[in-house]
Amino acid sequence: MNNNNADNPILAFWFRRDLRLDDNTGLLRALDAGKPVLPVFIFARNILDRLEDRDDARVSFLHDRIRSLDAELCKYGSGLLVAFGNPLESWKKWQKQFGFSAVYTNRDYEPYGTKRDREVSDWLGTQGVAFHSFKDQVIFEREEVVKPDGDPYSVYTPYSRRWRARLVEEPICPKSFPTKPNLYLFKDHELPSLESMGFVRSSISIPPAEVSKDLLRNYAGHRNFPAMAGTSRLGIHLRFGTLSIRRLALEAISASDSYLNELIWREFYQMILFHHPQVTSQAFKPAYDHIAWRSDPEAFQRWTAGTTGYPFVDAGMRELAATGFQHNRVRMVTASFLTKHLLVDWRLGEAWFARKLLDFELASNNGGWQWAAGCGCDAAPYFRIFNPTSQAQKFDPKEEYVRRWVPEYGTSAYPLPIVEHTFARERVLETFKHALST
């Protein structure tokens, strides 16, 4: 079937990390192009097959979100065309079926997404089909915030200053979905079930895609205390675009400068990954690739299970396993503990977080891990070693967080520390010093 002809060409809009109708740049640009638009989504088999947990909460969330997007589009007589397979193969099949005259989408900056988009746009080009991509998931992308000489920044503070200056030059203007969108009328749509893709529903619940004014106003004072509900937990919504970054940034601008700083950190790490894609496998500072990491599967297993005998670390790791979330302060401590106290390669910890975090984001996760290990672009110096006990005293003074997640803490059932702090500190200092002087 080819529904397209010279008098009635249709356009495709390809949803990826922008799963919403509101303020969706690429979708709105497609709708403005004057031809009917058919929205599409691909469950990428190559990515899903690599996930280790069949009850992965992110897949349940994604599936639910695709179903509700389809329902929203149905209200306009349209729907979502969904495939489960290889992206390029899906486009080849669809192009035969629909004969799109152009494909619209929002840009993806990760190495995998960039490569996938190049392959698809190259193939569409051979068919005479234009591929239009737009900035959507960040306020400023790629080369928009660079040094005066055009080089990318590698330090956060000057980057954030320039980011804020650009905001004054280019104010944020979110746009709503039109009341009468020119969508392709599309009836026979079917969504693959979770089970048909090899998954089962997760029992982990997803935080709502909204943040209260109160939370934002109190953010600076509360954000470091993991026992409080002091942070927004919006990471998963920013990851999948179920919330517009422009609307969230406007809320931050009116209520919390400290919150805006964190959104700028997110864009800083996206910019770093875009300009330095090698960080996915190597240290940003190459000398750190000489560190003699220890191979200690048992220690790594105890870290993942939250049985290291350091209650603040264990609470964080158990929170992560049970909820898919770990508080930022605790992420810094657990990551430091793995890389410095246990001297285990940051890449193993990064992979564990990538498997378990609801808000897993390649750029921020990699940035956070390289920061904690000392090898990142704007990292803490290697000799700054978090003491997990004093971190707990400072940020969980009443032990509320620890007792919530480690009920046996203080009893004989709780393990002894896996390693003694002073010994671990000296060991890591010696190992890092040696690696960095070779």
For the question of residue 303 being annotated catalytic, the response is: no
Among 20, 107, 266, 318, binds ligand FAD (CB under 6 A): 266
| Residue with Cβ nearer ligand FAD (114 or 328) | 328
Q: Which amino acid is at 391?
A: Q
CA 390 to each of CA 267, 306, 393, 395, 421: distance values in angstroms, whole numbers, following the listed order: 31, 18, 5, 9, 11
| Residue with Cβ nearer ligand FAD (76 or 401) | 401
- Residue 84: which of 102, 62, 105 has the closest Cα? 62
d(Cα 107, Cα 342) in Å, to the nearest integer? 39
The neighbouring-strand residues paired with 39 are: 13
d(Cα 284, Cα 286) in Å, to the nearest integer? 6
Does 78 bind ligand FAD (CB under 6 A)? Our answer is: no
d(Cα 422, Cα 426) in Å, to the nearest integer? 6
Q: For the chain, state the CA radius of gyration.
A: 23
Stretch that binds ligand FAD, among 41-49, 126-134, 172-180, 359-367 (CB under 6 A): 359-367
Handedness of CA 392, 395, 397, 403 (dihedral sign): negative
Handedness of CA 305, 311, 316, 321 (dihedral sign): positive
| Residue with Cβ nearer ligand FAD (116 or 237) | 237
| Residue with Cβ nearer ligand FAD (159 or 186) | 159
Among 29, 331, 340, 347, binds ligand FAD (CB under 6 A): 331
**Marked catalytic residue, from 14, 163, 265, 303:** 265
Among 145, 194, 234, 313, binds ligand FAD (CB under 6 A): 234
| CB-nearest residue to ligand FAD | 368
- Residue 83: which of 196, 186, 187 has the closest Cα? 196
For the question of residue 91 being annotated catalytic, the response is: no
Among 328, 351, 421, 435, binds ligand FAD (CB under 6 A): 328
d(Cα 307, Cα 324) in Å, to the nearest integer? 18
CB of 117 to ligand FAD, least distance (A): 22
Among 11, 335, 377, 392, binds ligand FAD (CB under 6 A): 335
**Marked catalytic residue, from 346, 352, 371, 405:** 346
**Marked catalytic residue, from 91, 303, 369, 405:** 369
CB of 325 to ligand FAD, least distance (A): 7
Among 80, 145, 238, 279, binds ligand FAD (CB under 6 A): 238
CB of 372 to ligand FAD, least distance (A): 5
Does 359 bind ligand FAD (CB under 6 A)? Our answer is: yes
Q: How far is CA 393 from the centre of its chain?
A: 30
Q: How far is CA 368 from the centre of its chain?
A: 12
| Residue with Cβ nearer ligand FAD (293 or 360) | 360
Residue 109 · residue 135 · CB < 8 Å:
no
**Marked catalytic residue, from 86, 218, 261, 293:** 293
Among 56, 70, 117, 361, binds ligand FAD (CB under 6 A): 361
Q: Which amino acid is at 80?
A: L
Stretch that binds ligand FAD, among 73-81, 122-130, 191-199, 351-359 (CB under 6 A): 351-359
Strands ordered across the beta sheet of 102-106: 81-85, 37-44, 11-15, 102-106, 130-134
Q: Which two tokens stand for residue 166?
A: 């650009």
d(Cα 105, Cα 18) in Å, to the nearest integer? 9
Does 280 bind ligand FAD (CB under 6 A)? Our answer is: no
**Marked catalytic residue, from 72, 141, 144, 262:** 262
Give 295's DSSP letter. -
- Give the containing element (helix H, strand E) for 361: none
Among 263, 279, 299, 373, binds ligand FAD (CB under 6 A): 263
CA 89 to each of CA 7, 16, 120, 228, 291: distance values in angstroms, whole numbers, following the listed order: 27, 16, 9, 47, 42
For the question of residue 14 being annotated catalytic, the response is: no
Among 177, 360, 395, 409, binds ligand FAD (CB under 6 A): 360
Does 57 bind ligand FAD (CB under 6 A)? Our answer is: no
Among 27, 272, 357, 428, binds ligand FAD (CB under 6 A): 357
d(Cα 366, Cα 405) in Å, to the nearest integer? 26
Q: Which parts of this chain interact with ligand FAD (CB under 6 A)?
A: 223, 231-235, 238, 262-263, 265-266, 269, 328, 331-332, 335, 353, 357, 359-361, 364-365, 368-369, 372
Q: Which residues are catalytic?
A: 262, 265, 293, 328, 346, 369
